[in-house]
Amino acid sequence: MAEFVLGQEHEFQEGKGRAFNAGGKIVAVFRSRDKFYAINNKCTHKGASMCEGDITPDGKYVRCPWHNWSFDLSTGVSPLNSAERQRMYQVEVKDGAVVLMV
Protein backbone atom coordinates (compact mmCIF):
# COMPACT_ATOMS: atom_id res chain seq x y z
CA MET A 1 0.00 0.00 0.00
CA ALA A 2 1.38 3.38 -1.02
CA GLU A 3 1.02 6.59 1.00
CA PHE A 4 0.30 9.97 -0.58
CA VAL A 5 0.59 13.23 1.37
CA LEU A 6 -2.30 15.38 0.13
CA GLY A 7 -1.61 18.54 2.09
CA GLN A 8 -1.88 20.01 5.54
CA GLU A 9 -5.01 19.49 7.63
CA HIS A 10 -5.79 23.22 7.75
CA GLU A 11 -5.90 23.34 3.92
CA PHE A 12 -9.05 21.19 3.83
CA GLN A 13 -12.35 23.03 4.18
CA GLU A 14 -14.96 21.55 6.50
CA GLY A 15 -17.92 20.04 4.60
CA LYS A 16 -16.17 20.05 1.23
CA GLY A 17 -14.48 17.49 -1.00
CA ARG A 18 -11.38 17.57 -3.18
CA ALA A 19 -10.20 15.15 -5.86
CA PHE A 20 -6.67 13.73 -5.93
CA ASN A 21 -4.83 11.46 -8.33
CA ALA A 22 -3.08 8.89 -6.16
CA GLY A 23 -1.32 6.00 -7.83
CA GLY A 24 -3.47 6.35 -10.94
CA LYS A 25 -6.73 6.37 -8.96
CA ILE A 26 -8.89 9.47 -8.69
CA VAL A 27 -10.03 9.70 -5.07
CA ALA A 28 -12.43 12.18 -3.46
CA VAL A 29 -11.33 13.27 0.00
CA PHE A 30 -13.83 14.93 2.34
CA ARG A 31 -13.54 16.67 5.66
CA SER A 32 -16.70 16.24 7.69
CA ARG A 33 -17.01 17.09 11.36
CA ASP A 34 -13.21 17.23 11.61
CA LYS A 35 -12.77 13.69 10.28
CA PHE A 36 -11.39 12.76 6.88
CA TYR A 37 -12.95 10.28 4.46
CA ALA A 38 -11.82 9.04 1.06
CA ILE A 39 -13.96 7.38 -1.62
CA ASN A 40 -13.73 6.67 -5.31
CA ASN A 41 -14.39 9.99 -7.08
CA LYS A 42 -16.63 8.48 -9.78
CA CYS A 43 -20.28 7.94 -8.80
CA THR A 44 -21.40 4.35 -9.36
CA HIS A 45 -24.66 5.59 -10.91
CA LYS A 46 -23.64 7.78 -13.87
CA GLY A 47 -20.02 8.70 -13.20
CA ALA A 48 -20.34 12.17 -11.69
CA SER A 49 -17.39 13.61 -9.79
CA MET A 50 -18.20 12.88 -6.14
CA CYS A 51 -15.83 15.56 -4.83
CA GLU A 52 -18.34 18.11 -6.16
CA GLY A 53 -21.17 16.60 -4.11
CA ASP A 54 -22.70 18.03 -0.97
CA ILE A 55 -22.32 16.55 2.47
CA THR A 56 -25.63 16.13 4.31
CA PRO A 57 -26.26 18.42 7.31
CA ASP A 58 -25.62 15.55 9.74
CA GLY A 59 -22.17 15.07 8.17
CA LYS A 60 -22.73 11.35 7.49
CA TYR A 61 -23.36 11.20 3.74
CA VAL A 62 -22.15 12.72 0.50
CA ARG A 63 -24.67 13.30 -2.28
CA CYS A 64 -23.80 12.89 -5.94
CA PRO A 65 -23.95 16.32 -7.63
CA TRP A 66 -25.94 14.99 -10.62
CA HIS A 67 -28.74 12.84 -9.20
CA ASN A 68 -28.39 13.15 -5.40
CA TRP A 69 -27.48 9.52 -4.82
CA SER A 70 -26.13 9.38 -1.27
CA PHE A 71 -23.21 7.36 0.07
CA ASP A 72 -22.17 6.90 3.69
CA LEU A 73 -18.80 8.60 4.19
CA SER A 74 -17.60 5.96 6.66
CA THR A 75 -18.67 2.84 4.71
CA GLY A 76 -19.28 3.93 1.11
CA VAL A 77 -22.70 2.22 1.14
CA SER A 78 -25.85 3.86 -0.20
CA PRO A 79 -28.52 4.16 2.51
CA LEU A 80 -31.24 3.36 -0.05
CA ASN A 81 -29.62 0.35 -1.71
CA SER A 82 -26.84 -1.53 0.06
CA ALA A 83 -25.75 -3.07 -3.25
CA GLU A 84 -24.66 0.41 -4.37
CA ARG A 85 -21.40 1.36 -2.77
CA GLN A 86 -18.34 3.47 -3.36
CA ARG A 87 -14.85 2.08 -2.89
CA MET A 88 -13.33 3.44 0.31
CA TYR A 89 -9.72 4.36 0.97
CA GLN A 90 -7.89 4.86 4.23
CA VAL A 91 -7.01 8.44 5.06
CA GLU A 92 -5.53 9.82 8.27
CA VAL A 93 -3.78 12.82 9.71
CA LYS A 94 -0.11 12.35 10.60
CA ASP A 95 1.68 15.28 12.24
CA GLY A 96 -0.78 17.71 10.64
CA ALA A 97 -0.52 16.19 7.16
CA VAL A 98 -3.46 14.46 5.46
CA VAL A 99 -2.20 11.11 4.18
CA LEU A 100 -4.06 8.81 1.78
CA MET A 101 -3.28 5.10 1.56
CA VAL A 102 -3.93 3.47 -1.81
**Ramachandran angles phi, psi of 79, nearest 5°:** -70, -15
pLDDT at residue 60, rounded to an integer: 97
Domain 3-101 class?
A: mainly beta
pTM of this structure: 0.95
9-19 per-position pLDDT tens digit? 999 999 999 99
pLDDT tens profile 28-76: 999 999 999 999 999 998 999 999 999 999 999 999 999 999 999 999 9
User: Quick one: what percent of the chain has pLDDT higher than 90?
Assistant: 98
Angle at 62 between CA 61 and CA 66, to 5 degrees: 140
